[in-house]
Amino acid sequence: MAKSSGQKLKLLLLRDYLLRNTDPDHAVTVRQMIEHLEARGVSAERKSLYSDLAALGPDSYGMDIVADNGSYSLASRDFELQEVKLLVDMVQSSNFITRSKTDELIRKLEGLVSVYEARQLSRQVYVRNRVKAMNESVYLSVDKISEAISGDLRIRFQYFQYNVRKQKQLRHGGRFREVSPFALIWVDQNYYLLAYDADAAAMRHFRVDRMTHISQLPGPRDGKALFEKTDMSTYTTKVFNMFTGQERQVRLRFAERLVDPVVDRFGEAAMLIPDGEGHFTVTVDVVVSPQFYAWLAPFGRDAEILSPADVRAGMVEQLREILDVYKEKEQE
């Protein structure tokens, strides 16, 4: 490496060395910094290094470099360790991020802290055993959909599902769907697209990691007036797990121990009315579907649909169908 080009890189190499090898509990000496630079083909004298550290410091470049008995370290950085741990937890807990992409993102997040702090992040990688998505292209899909939304463009795509061999199978005979995208929604660790379907003259939602061969079409988008009437703050409350169904006002009765899950599902604005000893009722708008009944079923005797009668009957029918499966098995 030429001397002149090496000197131009010296500040960058010194900056990276401090970022990767120091933190409030670990410092480096001037001799260690000189040896690191020389290993990279850059000569450095002690006197010039002091000038370089001053140039990188809080009064010039802005790095929080602290000197202590001839050793130097970074007292703080853009992301503190606890913040990076939080980001790692979010990546690990996200179902839509595949296992390989999870590992890749965590390796990049480790670059935000020192090598010593990064070891704590590496230990966390093996703590959890979460189910991860198989569709690696979801990141590109989110970007393409976001571009279409901001550019007032329509999109076309195919929808697929996995078979028992974990192979993708196109739905609807492989037919392309053309919709006007309006919003990306994060629900239960998955991205969903809210879009206007002109064929159905209605808003529809699609899981982004089940969309493939996405392409943008000329705009403008259809259904803008309908989207503007959509209250996004309550949309996910009404649409359980993003499945379609008829929206109804339903009166429910719960045991008091279920206040937390009811508030989590319907929000703090839901009015809970005491109903006898140890119970309360709530009247809410929900999308009645098998997913709604499935959310209610695990609460057993502590949850009951009071009205309307047909929604209550629907719950009975779903439970009866489940019971019939087990009865058939017992009779075999």
pLDDT digits (tens, 9 = 90+) for 245-301: 788 999 999 999 999 888 878 877 889 999 989 999 999 988 888 889 999 999 999
Per-residue pLDDT reduced to its tens digit, 123-142: 444 334 455 565 667 878 88
Average pLDDT over residues 87-96: 78
Highest mean pLDDT among 10-24, 79-93, 190-204, 281-295: 10-24
Q: Which helix (H) or strand (E) holds 207?
A: strand 202-207
* Lowest-pLDDT range of 6-10, 54-58, 303-307: 6-10
Mean pLDDT, the chain, rounded, equals 86
Residue 96 has pLDDT above 90, yes or no: no
Per-residue model confidence as pLDDT tens digits over 177-205: 999 999 988 776 678 899 999 999 998 88
Question: Which residue stretches of the chain are H helix?
Answer: 3-21, 30-39, 46-56, 81-93, 99-110, 115-125, 138-150, 224-228, 232-238, 259-266, 290-296, 309-331
Percent of the chain with pLDDT over 90: 54
pLDDT at 8: 77
DSSP label at residue 26: B
pLDDT of res. 127: 38
Q: Write out the two tokens for 30.
A: 């001037």
Angle between helical axes of 46-56 and 3-21 (0-180°, round to 10): 60
The predicted model scores a pTM of 0.57
Residue 92 scores a pLDDT above 90: no
Mean local confidence (pLDDT), 101-106: 87
Residue 214 has φ and ψ, to the nearest 5°, of -80, 135
Amino acid 122: pLDDT: 58
Cα 146 to Cα 151: distance, rounded to the nearest angstrom: 8
Q: Which residue, 196, 205, 213, 206, is CA-closest to 140?
A: 213
Assign 61 a pLDDT band (cuts: 50, 70, 90): very high
Phi first, then psi: what are they for 51, rounded to 5°? -65, -40
